[in-house]
Structure 1
Amino acid sequence: MGLNSVFKPLDIGNISLPNRVVFPAFQTNLASSDGTVTERLMNMYGKLAAGGSGMIIAGCIAISDEGAPQTNVLKINHDMHIAPLKELFRLIGENGAVPAAQLIHAGRQTLSMMTGHKLVAPSAIPCPVMKEIPVELDKDGIERIQDDFVAASVRVKKAGAELIELHGAFGYLIGGFLSPYSNKRTDKYGKDRALFFTEIIEKVKEKVEDVPLSCRISGDEFVEGGLTLDETRKIAQRLEEAGADVISVAAGTYASMAHMAPTQDMGEGVHVHLAKGIQEAVDVPVMCAGNIRSLEFADKIISEKKADLVAICRPQLADPSFVKKSASKQPFNECTDCGTCIYFLRGEKSVTCPQNPEL
C-alpha cells in the first residue's frame, strides 16, 4: 500500500508542512519547576523532529502559573521563557519539522496545591476527577486570561513558533466555557458559550496575524450533558469565522479520560468520525487523533478525505523514528498500550516509556 496521501505537503497560511503527520502537544512534566525547557525535553523533541513528523507541537505550554495543569509544565508567562523556547523551536526546525506551540489554561482541571493559586472556571463547579471547587470568573478575570493568551502568543511567536494552537479540548478552561457540562453562566459567556474562545482568537490574530492558529476541541466529550458532534460542528464554524486556520479534533474530558487517550481495544481511529463530521462543516484543514497507530491507516484517513492531518502521539513516543522507519518498511519499537506514558494516572512524576528508555 502506498503512502502518497500522508506524505503530501500541506500549506497552512504562510507555512508549508512536508507531510500530514503531526506529533501533538503532550503533557510530559519534564520542564523545570519554573516552566523552562530542559535538556531532556530538547533531546525528546529533537529526536521526534528528526524522526519524520511534518509538525511538532510543543506543549502543553501554560499561559500563567494559575493555569498550569501539572507541576513541571512548560510556561510562557514571562519573557525569560522566550530564549529557551527559541532554542527548542530552532532544534525542531533544523531537524526537519515545523515547530509549533500549544497554549493552555487548565481551568478547573488542576489543583491549587500544584499552581499556588485558586482554581478558576466558567462556573463554580468542581471537576469530578480533581474535585476542587473553582472560583467563577468575573468579567475582569475573563479579560485578564484572554490577555494572558495574547501575551503568550506574542512570546511564542518571538521564540519562533510557526503555528500556535489554542487548547480548547479535554475540559480545560476554554473547553470548559464551550460546554454545557461545565458552563452554567447566565451572562453573555453562558448564553454564547463559544464567545470566550472566539474573542481569544480575534485578540490573538490582531497581534500575531501572520502566524496560523490551530484550535483544538473535543468533538464529543462523552459525558452526560456535555458537547456532542451536533454542537461542535457549529462551534468549529464559529472558530473558523473568528480566524482559526486549523481545527484539531480530539475527544473527552477528565471525566471521560479513556477518550483522551484511547486504548487499542477501543478500536483503530476511534474518533476519526468526529474529525470527518467537523471537516464537512468547515473550509479549513482538520486534524484528527485517537488510536492512529500506523502510517497505512493514516494514509487511508487522508486519502478518504476524513481529515487533512493526523496526530500520532504514543507510537512516536515509543519510537521517535516511527515515521521514517514506517515509510521505509523498517521495524520499529511498537507502542504496547501499557499506559506508562499517561504518568499522572499512575502516580508517577513524569512521562516514561519502556519501549523508549532514552525518553
Structure 2
Amino acid sequence: MSALFSPIELDRLQLKNRIVIAPMCQYSAEDGKATDWHLIHYGQLAFSGAGLLIVEATAVEPAGRISPGDLGLWSDDTEAALARVVQGIRRYSSTPLAIQLAHAGRKASTGIPWEGGGSLPVGRGGWQTVAPSALPYAPGDTVPEALDEAGLERIRLAFVAAAERAVRAGFDAIELHAAHGYLMHEFLSPISNRRTDDYGGSLDNRLRFPLEIFQAVRDAVAENIPVGIRISATDWVEGGWDLEQSVEFARRLSLLGCAFVHVSSGGLSPLQQIPAAPNFQVPFATRIKQEAGLPTLAVGLITEPEQAEAIVASGQADLVAVARGVLYDPRWPWHAAAELGAHVDVPPQYWRSAPAARPDLFFAHRSAT
C-alpha cells in the first residue's frame, strides 16, 4: 500500500490520503469577495483527488490584504461570496476544505503581481499598513504603523470573527497564516519585532500575540473543526527567526490544541538567502514532528510522486503539500495514484477517463464495476 495514499485523521477530520493542495493566492477577488474565478478554480481542484484542499490566504480585515485582489472574510458580503463557492463545490465533491486566515501586516498594500506588484502608496490605490514595529519590509515601502493595544485587540477579534464566518460558510478546517513575513510571523521574528512591551524582546514575548490569536480562534470554533498553522521555520537571515524557535513555538501550540503545522520558510526579509532545492524544507517538518509531536505538512519543491511517497513512508512528515505543481497539473494526485498503484475518488463524470493500464484507478468506479 502507498503511504502517500493512506488515510490520516487531523483531530476529528478524516482525510483519504496525505496529499494537500497548499493555499495559493489568486488575486482575483472584488473588494474581498470571491468571484466566479474562485468557484471555477477551486471547483477543478476539488476534483483532483487530494486529501485536503486549502483555500488561499484570506484577510481578516481590509488592511490585512496583500493586494486589492485578495480574498477577505470580514463582512456578511464576503462570507456570502465564499459560502457560494463552498456550496458549489459541495454539490459535486466531498473533498475536505480548509481556509487559510491571514493578515499581511507590513507586507500588505501591494500591487497584483502580473500588474507589476510592488508597494502601493496611500492615495495611489494603497492603504496604511500595520506591524509590530514601524519598520518597512523593504526600502521605499510605506512605513507601517506600530500596533497599539487597541490595534492588537482589533486584530485578535478579527481573526475570531473570520474563523466563525469560515465555519458558517462550510469549511472543514482552519489554517492560521504565521509564515512568509506576514503579521503573525512579523511578531515572531526579532528582525521585524523591535517592541519593548510584553509583545517584543524575549522569545516568550514574541510568541505571545500569535499564541493569543491561535487560542482565541481555537476557543471560538467547535471541537470538530481542526485548527492548524502555517509557519516559516527560518527567516534564512542571521539573527532572525530560526528552527530552534520554531520548535518551541510548535510545542506551545501543541498545548493549545493545534491540529497540524504546515512548515514553510522565508518571506520576512529581502536579505534572505534561500538554498532552494528539492526537499530543502522537509528537514524542518521532520524536526518539528519529532520534537513537538504534531502532525506536519512538508512543502517546497516537492514535484514528483515517488518523492512525496518517500517523505511520508520514511516518516519525515505526515502529509505533503503541493502548490505550483498543482497549478500546472490539477490532476497531480490522479497521476500520482496511477504511478504508485493507489486509488483516488473522482466524480462519476470522469470514471471513463481511467487509463487502460489502471482501470481500477478510481475508488467509486472500482466498487461499481
Task: Assess if the C-alpha contact under 8 Å between 2:178 and 2:231 holds in 1.
Answer: yes
Task: Name the aligned partner's letter for residue 45 of structure 1.
Answer: Y
SS in 2 for 1:82: helix
Question: Which residue does the alignment assign to 1:81?
Answer: 78
Task: Assess if the C-alpha contact under 8 Å between 1:25 and 1:59 holds in 2.
Answer: yes
| Ranges in structure 1 where 5+ consecutive residues have no aligned partner | 331-359
Determine if the alignment matches structure 1 residue 319 to structure 2 residue 333: no
Question: Which residue does the alignment assign to 1:271?
Answer: 281
Determine if the alignment matches structure 1 residue 243 to structure 2 residue 240: no
Q: Distance in 2 between matches of 1:83 and 1:327?
A: 35
Cα deviation for residue 129 of structure 1 reads: 6.3
SS in 1 for 2:235: coil
Label 1:285 to 1:83 Cα distance change in 2 as closer, same or farther (>3 A): same
Q: Distance in 1 between matches of 2:96 and 2:271?
A: 29
Label 1:20 to 1:130 Cα distance change in 2 as closer, same or farther (>3 A): farther
Task: Assess if the C-alpha contact under 8 Å between 1:49 and 1:92 holds in 2.
Answer: yes
Question: Which residue does the alignment assign to 2:28?
Answer: 30
Listed one character per residue, the Cα deviations across residues 191-227 of structure 1 (whole Å, up to 9, x for unaligned) are 3111101111111122103211111110111123211
Tell me the TM-score normalized by structure 1: 0.85
Q: Distance in 2 between matches of 1:179 and 1:77?
A: 27
Task: Name the aligned partner's letter for residue 9 of structure 2.
Answer: D
Cα deviation for residue 14 of structure 1 reads: 2.0
| Identity score, percent | 34
Cα deviation for residue 297 of structure 1 reads: 0.8
Cα deviation for residue 295 of structure 1 reads: 1.7
Determine if the alignment matches structure 1 residue 71 to structure 2 residue 68: yes
Listed one character per residue, the Cα deviations across residues 161-186 of structure 1 (whole Å, up to 9, x for unaligned) are 11001000011000000111111111
Cα deviation for residue 266 of structure 1 reads: 3.0
Q: Distance in 1 between matches of 2:125 and 2:59?
A: 11
Q: Distance in 1 between matches of 2:180 and 2:125?
A: 19
Cα deviation for residue 55 of structure 1 reads: 0.7
Task: Assess if the C-alpha contact under 8 Å between 2:235 and 2:268 holds in 1.
Answer: no
Q: Distance in 2 between matches of 1:130 and 1:305?
A: 44
Question: Which residue does the alignment assign to 1:339?
Answer: none
Stretches of 4+ aligned residues off by more than 3 angstroms: 90-94, 112-117, 256-259
Question: Which residue does the alignment assign to 2:54?
Answer: 57
Task: Name the aligned partner's letter for residue 250 of structure 2.
Answer: A
Cα deviation for residue 228 of structure 1 reads: 1.1
Label 1:24 to 1:151 Cα distance change in 2 as closer, same or farther (>3 A): same
SS in 2 for 1:217: strand
The partner residue of 1:229 within 243, 246, 258 is 243
Determine if the alignment matches structure 1 residue 196 to structure 2 residue 196: no
Question: Which residue does the alignment assign to 2:142?
Answer: 132
Task: Name the aligned partner's letter for residue 280 of structure 1.
Answer: Q
What does 1:103-182 align with in structure 2 at a 5 Å threshold? 103-111=101-109, 113=122, 116-128=126-138, 131-182=141-192
Greater radius of gyration (CA)? 2
Cα deviation for residue 254 of structure 1 reads: 4.8
The partner residue of 2:193 within 172, 175, 183 is 183
Label 1:163 to 1:26 Cα distance change in 2 as closer, same or farther (>3 A): same
Q: Distance in 2 between matches of 1:78 and 1:88?
A: 16
Tell me the TM-score normalized by structure 2: 0.83
Question: Which residue does the alignment assign to 1:16?
Answer: 14
Label 1:130 to 1:67 Cα distance change in 2 as closer, same or farther (>3 A): farther
**RMSD across aligned positions (CA):** 2.0
SS in 1 for 2:101: strand
Q: Distance in 1 between matches of 2:171 and 2:94?
A: 14
Task: Name the aligned partner's letter for residue 282 of structure 1.
Answer: A
Cα deviation for residue 257 of structure 1 reads: 9.0
Q: Distance in 1 between matches of 2:24 and 2:139?
A: 20
Label 1:129 to 1:48 Cα distance change in 2 as closer, same or farther (>3 A): farther
Aligned residue pair count: 323
Label 1:199 to 1:266 Cα distance change in 2 as closer, same or farther (>3 A): closer
Return 63-72 or 127-136, whichever deviates more: 127-136
Label 1:296 to 1:127 Cα distance change in 2 as closer, same or farther (>3 A): same
Q: Distance in 2 between matches of 1:237 and 1:55?
A: 24
Cα deviation for residue 255 of structure 1 reads: 2.8
Listed one character per residue, the Cα deviations across residues 45-103 of structure 1 (whole Å, up to 9, x for unaligned) are 11111011111111110101110001111100101122221232234443242111001
